[in-house]
Structure 1
Amino acid sequence: MAAKGKGNGKRKGKGKGNSKKTKSKPPDPTSNCIFPREIISNILSRLPVKTLLRFRCVCKPWRNLISKPNFIDTHLHRSSSLKPTFSPILIHTLHVKYTDHVLSLVDSPESSVTELDNPFPFFYYNMVVVGSCSGIVCLCKPPWGDLITLWNPVMRKFRTVQLPKKKPLLGVHAGVSIGLAYDSQENDFIILSLFCFREESRVPVEVEMCSMKSFCWKQVKNEVGFRVIRPCCNVIINGVPYWTALLEDKYGLRDVLVYFDVDRKVFDKLPMPGITVGTQWQLVNLEDTVGMLIWAKTVKHNIDVWVMHDEDGWSKKCTVGLVLGFDRLIGCLRNGDILAEDENGVLLLFDMVTSSVKAKLCIDNAKRGSSVIFNYSESLVLIREMLPVEKETARDKQHRENLLKAGINLKIISTDDPQQANWVNRIV
C-alpha cells in the first residue's frame, strides 16, 4: 500500500501525464552537427544541381537554404569557375517524321541523351535556340524574334518575355536577331533585339534591350554601325553574345566580329581572322575564350583551331586531324571536344588532343543534318514569374499530327553559309 501511495503523490503531478503538451519546432539539422552552419552551406554550394534538388527534400532548413538568392549566386559562381573535364551540351534537332523541335541534354560522354520537355508551343514550327548562359536558355521564333522564352531546363521552369513596342516593318526589315547576355555584377539577364534591314539598304541594325529586372525595353545606340543577317547571335561566352557582322567604313565593306559589352551596355567590334577562299568556319566557345574552327570544304579531316587573345588578336592554336573524317561539323564544346556528324547521321565526339572518338551520341528519330549544339551549365537560377514546364501530353501529339494531316505545307530551309551555322524554319 505504501508503494501505491507513493505512486499517487506529488511526483505524479509533476510527471509527464499531467503536464501541458506544447508543440516544439523541429530541430535544426545543423544544430547538433560537428560542422558550423557556414561549413554545411559551403559544402552544399559545391554539389551538382540535380543533387541539390534531391537534398531539398531532406528538411525545411535545407530547402530554404538552397532556395536563398545568396546561396544560388555562390553556387553559380563556383560552378562557372570550374574547368570542366566535360561540358554538358544542349542539342537541338528536328524529328524525322513530325518536324518537331526536340531539345536534349547530355551530361557526360558515358550518360545517355536525355530528351527535355520543350516549353515552346508545339504548334509553332519556327523555333531557334539563341543560346545559354548561367543555366538559362533563350528560345525565339524567327524571322521576327517573336515569342521570346527564357527557360531553366534543370529547374523545369520558364517564362515568356514581352516583345518590344517597336515592330519590324515588312519589306523594310529582313528580320530580327535575338541575343542573350548576363550581367554578373547586377545579377541580371538582358535580352537584345536587333532589327536587321535588308542587305541592299546598307542601313545598320537598330538595337533594343530588355533587362529581366525591370522587363522594360529601351534603345541602345549602334555606334559601331554594323549589320547582321543571322536570326540570333553566333555564340555566348561568359554572358557576352557575339555576332558575325558586316561593317562598311573608310576601308570598305568587311567582315567583323561584334559583341555586347555588358558592363558599359554598348557594342564593340573585333577583327576576323584571315579566312581563305574555299574554307568553312564556325565561331565557338573554347575554354571560355572566343575561338574559331576552320576547315576546307573538300577535305573534311583537318580542322584548324584559332583563338582570340585580347592583346595579340587571333592566333592559330593547333590543327586537329580527325582520322575518321566527318560529313558535317556541328561545333565545339567548352572544354575543347569537337562534335561532328558522320555520313550515317551518328554524332561523334572527338578529343581535340588525341583526335580519337570519345563517345557516340544517338538521338532517336532525329532528322539527319538538323543537329545544333549549345554549351550548357546547370544552375539554380530562376527569373521571377517563371512557370512550371508541362509535360507534353498524348493529346498534344495527336493535335500536331492532325495539323500535319490537314495539309499544312511545311518547308525546312537550311543554309550552307558558314556564317549561318544555325538553321531557320519557315512556313510557306
Structure 2
Amino acid sequence: MKKVMSRKKTKTSFKYLPLEIWTLILARMPGKTLLRFRSVCKPWRSIIDGADFVYLHLQLCNINNNSKNKLFVAFEDLGRLGLNGLEAWLRTIRRADTLRKTGHNLMSPGNDDPLGSCIGPSVNGLILTCELIDFKQELILWNPSIRKSLVIPPCPIPSHLQVETAFVFGFAPSTKEHKIIAITSDETPGTQPRDMFFAVYTLSDQRWTVRNNGLNVERSFFEGIFQSFLYSSDTTFLYGGTVFLHGKVHCLAFDYGNNKLHLVSLDFDLESVTFLEVPDLSDKSRPLRFPFILGESVAIFSISTVKASIWVLELDDGKRVWTPWCSEPSSLDGFGLFMDHILSNGPYYYESDCGGCLIIGKKSYHIASGKVQARGKSMRRNVILETYSESLVLHKGYGAQEVDVFPVN
C-alpha cells in the first residue's frame, strides 16, 4: 500500500508542476522541438504561444549561444538554374564548429543579385531578405528555424525623390520591438547637399512611420554612412559589413570631410546614430578592415600583407574607447583569403581548441599563426555565412506564411 501511494504521489507532483517551472523548462528547448510540443496539451500550447515566452526563449538562447555551439545560415551558390537562368542560392543551417548541416535545405527561387538577397546581420533568428517574387523585388523577414516569412509592405518613399534606399534591420531592447529603418537620399541631379529621408517599420504594428529628424546625421558625413548601410551585404572595398549587438547595428563609414574612418552605430531604441573614430590601423600596405563581434564587444579586424591586428571597443568611465587586443604578422594566404571575400558579410570569431580564429566563407584564419584552414568541404561553390540563433519570432500573431522547402542533394 505504501509503494502504491508513493508512486501516485510522484506521478501527481510531476503532472502538476507550476506553470512557471514548465515555462523555464520549455524555454530551454530548440524552436523546432517547441513547435511539436504545442500538440502535447493545452497548457503547453498556451505557454509556447505567449509573447513573453518568445523573448524568454531568445534570452536563454543567447546565453547558451557561445562560440562553440553557434549556428550559421549558409548561402551556397548553385549557379544559374532553370529556363530563366536566374542565380539560385541554397540555404542551409550549419554548426560553427564543423559547418555540418543541421537544418533542411531552403532554396530561393532565384535572385539577379544574390548578394542583395541578404540585407545586414541576422537579429533574434530573423533575417531581412530581398526576394524576387513574380518578377518584383520584395522585402521579406524570414525565420529559418520555424520556416516562416513575412512580406514587408512597401516603404512610403516620397514620389518626388529619385532614391536608392538602405534598409537596416534591428531590435530595440527597451520596447522588445523589431524594426526596419529605411534611409534614403535625394538623387535628383543638382541637389546639394542631398536631402535625407528616414522611415521606421515596426513589426508589432506592421506599418511604416515617417520620421522627420533625419537621424541627426551631419550632411558632410551622410554620404559615407548612407553608402555603408546601402551596401552592408556586399561590402565596399577595404572596409565594410554590419554587425548587431545590444540593440545597435554597427558598420564602418568614411568621413570624406576629414578623411577619417569611423564606427557608425545605429541605435534602435533611440533611433539615432553615433560616431566614433577608428584608431589608425594602417601600415605601409592598405589594410582590409571588418567589424565583428568578440564576446560581448564590437571589434575591428584589420589585415594587410604585413600584419593583422584587432581592436576592441570598451567602456572607460562611461566613454567608448578602443583597446588593442592583438597584433600579429599576417600571411599572404591570409590576406588573399580576406581579399577574396571583400564581397562577403565579413568574418565571424570562433574560439577553437587551438585558439581564436575568424571564419569567412569556407575557410578560417587562425589569428595567432596566420594559417588558413579549409572548412565546410560539403558546401557548394561560393558561400556566404550569416550568424543565426533559433527563435519563435513570427510564429504567432503576424500572419507569417510557411516558406517553401526544396530538398537539394
TM-score between both structures, scaled by the size of structure 2: 0.73
Query: Is 1:222–1:267's contact at 8 Å kept on the other side of the alignment?
Result: yes
Any idea what the Cα deviations from partners look like across 1:271-320, whole Å, max 9, x if unmatched? 22213251111111222321111101x35xx5312211233522221136
Task: Give the aligned residue type for 1:339.
Answer: I
CA distance in 1, matches of 2:197, 2:18: 53
Aligned partner letter, 2:167: I
Report deviation, 1:40: 2.3
Contact 1:182/1:239, CA 8 A, preserved across alignment: yes
> Do the aligned partners of residues 203 and 245 (structure 1) sit closer, same or farther apart at CA in structure 2, a change above 3 Å counting?
farther
Q: Distance in 2 between matches of 1:49 and 1:189?
A: 19
- Structure 1, unpaired ranges of 5+: 1-28, 342-346, 395-428
Deviation at 1:202, TM superposition (A): 5.2
Judge which range, 321-330 or 99-108, deviates more.
321-330
CA distance in 1, matches of 2:171, 2:12: 34
Q: Which moved more, 1:329-338 or 1:287-296?
A: 329-338
- 1:165-314 matches, within 5 Å, as 165-166=156-157, 173=163, 175-196=164-185, 203=194, 205-214=196-205, 215-219=207-211, 220-225=213-218, 226-227=222-223, 228-230=226-228, 231-233=230-232, 234-247=242-255, 252-276=258-282, 277-296=285-304, 298=305, 303-310=308-315, 311-314=319-322
Give SS of 2:106's match: coil
How well do the aligned residues superpose, as a CA RMSD in angstroms? 3.4
**1:178 shift after superposition:** 1.4
Matched, 1:389 2:392: no
Map Cα deviations across residues 197-235 of structure 1 (whole Å, 9 max, x no partner). 569955364322111122123124231222221435422
> 1:88 is matched with which residue?
71
1 or 2, which has the higher helix percentage? 2
Change (3 A) 1:32 1:187: same
Task: Identify the residue that residue 153 of structure 1 maps to in structure 2.
Answer: 144
Larger radius of gyration: 1
3-state SS of the aligned residue for 2:24?
helix
The correspondence of residues 7-22 of structure 1 with structure 2, limited to 5 A, is: none
Give the match's secondary structure for 2:15: coil
Aligned to 1:78: 60
Contact 2:71 2:94 in 1 (8 A): yes
Give CA deviations for 1:131-172 in whole Å, capped at 9, x if unaligned. Answer: 211111111269xx95211011001000111122215878x5
Change (3 A) 1:366 1:304: same
Q: 1:257 to 1:197 in 2, by over 3 A?
A: farther
Structure 1 residue corresponding to 2:358, chosen from 338, 341, 345: 338
Name the CA distance, whole Å, in 1 between partners of 2:14 and 2:291: 53
CA distance in 2, matches of 1:204, 1:244: 22
Cα deviation per residue 1:84-131 (whole Å; 9 max; x = unaligned)? 03221222232234321232221342462356424x553655533122
Which of 136, 146, 150 is the aligned partner of 2:126? 136
3-state SS in 2 of match to 1:38: helix
Aligned-pair identity in percent equals 20
Contact 2:290/2:347, CA 8 A, preserved across alignment: no
Contact 1:45 1:74 in 2 (8 A): yes
Q: Hey, what does 2:19 align to over in structure 1? A: 37
Do structure 1's residue 348 and structure 2's residue 363 form an aligned pair?
Answer: yes
Q: Is the alpha carbon distance of 1:361 and 1:84 closer, same or farther for their aligned partners in structure 2, counting shifts above 3 Å?
A: same
1:374 equivalent in alignment to 2:386: yes
Q: Aligned partners of 2:24 and 2:369: how far apart in 1? A: 37
2:380 is the counterpart of 1:362: no
The Cα of 1:390 is off from its aligned counterpart by 1.6
Structure 2 equivalent of residue 418 of structure 1:
none
Partners of 1:103 and 1:117 within 8 A in 2: yes
State how many pairs are aligned: 348
Q: What is the aligned counterpart of 1:122 among 104, 110, 126?
A: 110
Any idea what the Cα deviations from partners look like across 1:387-409, whole Å, max 9, x if unmatched?
11122499xxxxxxxxxxxxxxx
Q: Residue type matched to 1:305 in 2?
A: I
Structure-2 change in CA distance of 1:338 and 1:217 (3 Å): same
1:381 Cα offset (Å): 1.4
Amino acid at match of 1:378: E
CA contact (8 A) 1:133 1:239 kept: no
Q: 1:166 is paired with a residue of what secondary structure?
A: coil
Tell me, in whole angstroms, the C-alpha distance in 2 between the residues paired with 1:273 and 1:372: 28
